A = this chain, B = another copy of it.
């Protein structure tokens, strides 16, 4: 039995009672921290569940996943995963491989950025597909036109757009909102369709799930040079706001 247990958004205190109970009863407990930034403390989590937790990296769960599944076999194994476990699509491949071997799988869900964004006051059902802004060195030094155009299309269709910022966790490298904004402004310069300019209004949402989440709303020009502090962050490009969304977001307008 392979049980993927969600860590939720911030630290070890975001784990649910159910998740803890399952970990306490497991034969082996692992954690992966490469799909998202986690601010918890493994030692604290080990104390809570009374058990050692081994860290697995991308290699263990992707290229070498068969070694991992070999080990799971008929044992009760918990894998802690940041957020809600299947947000990282890589883990659905792991589950497919487990199922092929006849290993039972279970998910203990937890909070993820996909629903936490409702904390900005934007209505969750109005979000369209999610787009990740990649580090430019991965894409030949400019944002692909397709990504830039998808952002524009969705805005025209009256959908909010959640923009995830790239992560290279192996290098502890998290794209800042400032970098994300610069990449979008540079695309605007290259492709020039008026999709993302200094006058565009955006929301920066950071440290979701922490005691001090950051929500800032305003024009790009008023946000682009801010120091936003510690990651993680997302940027939201809102569509035309409903009255209730607008009333809520005004509390967070950048001065």
**Chain A positions near chain B (C-beta within 8 angstroms):** 6, 8-9, 12-18, 20-21, 48, 83-87, 89, 92-93, 95-96, 99, 106-107, 109-112, 114-116, 118-119, 121, 123-132, 159, 208-209, 211, 213, 244-245, 247-248, 251
Known: A244-B93, A248-B95. A111 touches B110 (CB 8 A): yes
Quote the shortest CB–CB distance from A134 to chain B (angstroms). Answer: 13
A69 to chain B, nearest CB (A): 15
Closest to A118 in B: B86
B244 and A89 form a contact (CB under 8 A): yes
Residues of B with C-beta under 8 A to A16: 8, 13-17, 110-111
Closest residue on chain B to residue A4 by CB atoms: B119
A-B contact pairs, 11 of them (CB 8 A): A13-B16, A17-B48, A86-B118, A87-B124, A89-B123, A93-B244, A96-B251, A114-B124, A125-B129, A125-B132, A126-B129
Q: Contact between A119 and B107 (Cβ–Cβ < 8 Å)? A: yes
Residues of B within 8 A of A6 (CB): 111
Known interface pairs A95-B248, A124-B130; A109-B111 also in contact (CB < 8 Å): yes
CB neighbours (8 Å) of A115 from chain B are 83-84, 86-87, 109, 111-112, 114-115
Measured CB to CB, the closest approach of chain B to A231, in angstroms, equals 17
Q: Determine the chain B residues whose CB is within 8 A of the CB of A99 once the complex forms.
A: 248, 251
CB-nearest residue of chain B relative to A89? B123
Which chain B residues border A89 with CB–CB below 8 Å? 118, 123-125, 244
By beta carbon, the residue of chain B nearest A245 is B92
Residue numbers in B under 8 Å from A208 (CB-CB):
109
Contact B110 A110 (CB under 8 A): yes
**Docked CA distance A18–B9 (Å):** 11
